[in-house]
Amino acid sequence: MKLKILFCVLVAIATEAKVYCEHPEDCPPAINQLQYKNKRCTAFLVARDLIATNRHCIPDQMNKEREACDGINFVFPKSKNHESEVLKCKTIEFLSEPLVPNSANVDLAILRTQTSTNREPLTFSQDGFQNEKQYTIYKIDPNLENGGGVIVKSNCDAIQNAIVNPYFTSDKSPIVNFIPCQVVPGNSGSPILSSGNEVRGIIHSSSDGKLAELFEKERRKIDTKIYSAFGTSFACVHLDLFSYPRYNHEACKVKINTDSTRQLEKQKNEDLAEQINNQVRIEFDKFSQKLKTLKNEKMYLLQWRFGPYDRQLERQNHFVYAPICYNEEAFKKEPVERLSLDLLEIELKNEIDTRLRYKFNIKANIYKNKIFLEMKPDQRLKVDLNYSFKTKQYFVEPCK
């Protein structure tokens, strides 16, 4: 699963640039913009002298805890109860594990400021994210002209078991995703808040509207205008700074790497195939019972299999009857050139719903199939089947 990291937006201004509130009356005082030379990220207070953002927002040369972070400034906007303010970075207090390129990552950094502020910090929560519940994101959309930005509020839904993120399967999963939630470079580090204004996670990447599909071929085909954003949940983050416990629930034990992603995709693929096969089997059993009442007396001249028209499961496929061999003795006794049989066809469509979850639709029908038979000199039988969607030619040999 490939994620596009929202690297801090590059601008041409090296001095502090102003940040504004889109709605000053609804502008949390903790939100600020991290500014370092020509880089910008969103950040937020978690204590009066501690600020959280993404690890990937920190300059490469500042990659150790307890190191100085001179040159990083945090710019706060003027709001209803506060004047604009700038805090300078002192030390790096916490860094999550090193980031793995093109993979899902826990992405968090905590920085200490040189001075404290009287602004109210946000409160951490390790309660995680409930499926289908709405959360609020405050992000700073950068202004490329002056290097500052504007604080914007977005409401997004947490979506478990979406095709874009095989890791988000429970409330305590470490990597989460939200829709419809468009984020852009410079939004990295945005806090994700509950209805009680507790910060439960932090935005770190975007899907750019291109979704990672569970099937490799589908991965290259699926595109949607539903935007999703990825974030780090604080449910599994262990912070000595706040005496947060290290949870032992299973979701926190997941290994986030290429191998685990591949295994999750394989498992979801197998689960989906089982669901499809079960539904197809139900429809086939119904037809098998109905065969007793259909006038398909000469169907026995051929032996049949029922399965996918195309061996490779694509976004659209059909399950049909296909001949595998012919009954030589019966055909000698009763040679025919044409059959008319009522045969089951099942149309399968693989789709993505509006919640970015994979689903399939099955439509079963019985069609009158005109079948033409021609015996070849080599004793192979040419069988022309006219399915409802396509004509198919088979060559079959005598049954053993």
Tens digit of each residue's pLDDT (9 = 90 or more) over 255-265: 766 677 778 77
Give the dihedral of Cα atoms 36, 38, 43, 48; nearest 10 deg. Answer: 30
Higher pLDDT, residue 102 or 188: 188
Give bridge partners of residue 338 from the DSSP assignment. 372
Distances, alpha carbon 25 to alpha carbons 119, 123, 140, in Å: 15, 20, 16
**Strands 73-76, 85-95: parallel, antiparallel or unpaired by DSSP?**
antiparallel
Judged against a pLDDT cut of 70, whether residue 301 lies above it is answered with yes
How confident is the model over 180-209, as a mean pLDDT?
86
How high is the pLDDT of residue 213?
Answer: 40
How high is the pLDDT of residue 140?
Answer: 96
How high is the pLDDT of residue 245?
Answer: 60
How high is the pLDDT of residue 268?
Answer: 80
How high is the pLDDT of residue 102?
Answer: 54
How high is the pLDDT of residue 32?
Answer: 97
Q: What percentage of the chain carries pLDDT values higher than 90?
A: 55
**58 with 5: CB under 8 angstroms?**
no
How confident is the model over 235-250, as a mean pLDDT?
70
Predicted confidence band at 1 (pLDDT cuts at 50, 70, 90)? very low
How high is the pLDDT of residue 256?
Answer: 67
Judged against a pLDDT cut of 80, whether residue 351 lies above it is answered with no
How high is the pLDDT of residue 101?
Answer: 60
**How many contiguous H segments (helices) and E segments (strands) does the chain have?**
3, 22
Classify domain 4-251 at the CATH topology level: Thrombin, subunit H (2.40.10)
Average pLDDT, the chain: 85
How high is the pLDDT of residue 244?
Answer: 62
pLDDT digits (tens, 9 = 90+) for 90-139: 999 999 887 666 556 688 999 999 999 999 999 989 999 999 999 999 99
Q: What is 298-336 written as a DSSP string? A: GGGGEEEEEEESSSS--SEEEEEEEEEEE-HHHHHHS--
Q: What percentage of the chain carries pLDDT values higher than 70?
A: 85
Predicted confidence band at 219 (pLDDT cuts at 50, 70, 90)? very low
Task: Delimit the CATH 2.40.10.120 region(s) of the chain.
Answer: 4-251
Judged against a pLDDT cut of 70, whether residue 286 lies above it is answered with yes
Of these ranges, 214-228, 240-254, 290-304, the one predicted with the greatest mean pLDDT is 290-304
How high is the pLDDT of residue 146?
Answer: 79
How confident is the model over 326-332, as a mean pLDDT?
92
- Does this model's pTM top 0.95? no
Higher pLDDT, residue 63 or 240: 63
The HSE-up count of residue 259 (CA atoms within 13 Å, CB side) is 2
How high is the pLDDT of residue 103?
Answer: 58
d(CA 232, CA 244): 16
Higher pLDDT, residue 60 or 242: 60
Predicted confidence band at 320 (pLDDT cuts at 50, 70, 90)? very high
Q: Which of 147-161, 204-218, 316-330, 346-360 has the lowest mean pLDDT?
A: 204-218
Distances, alpha carbon 118 to alpha carbons 77, 148, 167, in Å: 14, 22, 38
With CA atoms as reference, report the closest residue to 181 among 171, 170, 173, 192: 192
Higher pLDDT, residue 350 or 171: 171
Helices marked H in the chain: 216-219, 258-290, 328-333
146: left (phi over 0), alpha (psi -120 to 50) or beta: alpha
Judged against a pLDDT cut of 60, whether residue 248 lies above it is answered with yes
How confident is the model over 357-373, as a mean pLDDT?
92
